[in-house]
Amino acid sequence: MTRERIAARIVAENDRWRLMGELTFDDAAAVFDAAKAIALPAADVVDLSGLTHADSSALAVVLAIKRRAAGEGRALVVEGVPSSLRSLAVVYGVADLLA
């Protein structure tokens, strides 16, 4: 039985963004483009707890979103980071950027 892949998306809810689904290379550009097209979350929170799978592309998207926020004078907080994504951040030496 083949598992159906759930494409990643950004959901704006309660003044925060929630990333959901499988954020991989296949979806990274589309998710980042979607993030650029909407205002940053009012609460300055990006919640990753809805991600069911994430690879290094997901890490790149999150860091790019944080870079955008910094450019706009904002400091985003990233919550609900999956352990696999946190492990990648440690390997790449950028774990402190997810804090």
Q: What DSSP string runs through 15-38?
A: TEEEEEEEESHHHHHHHHHHHHTS
In tens, the pLDDT along 31-55 reads 999 999 999 999 999 999 999 999 9
| Whether pTM exceeds 0.75 | yes
Least confident of 3-12, 23-32, 70-79: 3-12
Please, what is the end-to-end C-alpha distance for the chain in angstroms?
Answer: 38
